[in-house]
Amino acid sequence: MSYQTKGSSSSAPEAVIRTSGTTKNPGRLFYCCPKGSEEDKFHLFTWTDERVVEEVEDLKCEVCELKADISDIRAELSTIRKESERIKLMVELTRDRKCCCAIL
């Protein structure tokens, strides 16, 4: 039986966060199956701090992708602005010449 951690999109029941009471990991938080026990090794168990590290790594990848997208959009915006200025200049020249057409 699989369990999801908070924020995941699975339809499985949501995992709970508990606090370790062991001498090796006192006070350390972990995700577990709501029906799990120490004896049952088939239920979900993962340390929350390890999960956070994984999530941060995933977010780093997302941030890199978003930065690349922003860079592409800025380049495209720069091109559009230049084209807009060129068109404005052509319109101005056409008005000044009182011509009925302009070559864009």
Q: What is the DSSP letter of 2?
A: -
Residue 43 lies in a domain: yes
First-last CA distance in the chain:
66
Residue 11 lies in a domain: no
Residue 52 lies in a domain: yes
Residue 56 lies in a domain: yes
CA 51 to CA 15: how far, in whole Å?
13
Q: What is the pLDDT of residues 15-69, one digit of tens each?
A: 888 888 889 989 998 888 887 666 666 677 788 888 888 889 999 999 999 999 9
Domain assignment of residue 58, given as a range: 16-96
Residue 85 lies in a domain: yes
pTM, to two decimals? 0.48
Radius of gyration of the chain measured on its C-alpha atoms: 29
Residue 33 lies in a domain: yes
Structural domain total, the chain: 1
Residue 81 lies in a domain: yes
Residue 1 lies in a domain: no
CA 77 to CA 68: how far, in whole Å?
14
Beta 16-19 vs 45-47: how paired, if at all?
A: unpaired
CA 42 to CA 49: how far, in whole Å?
21
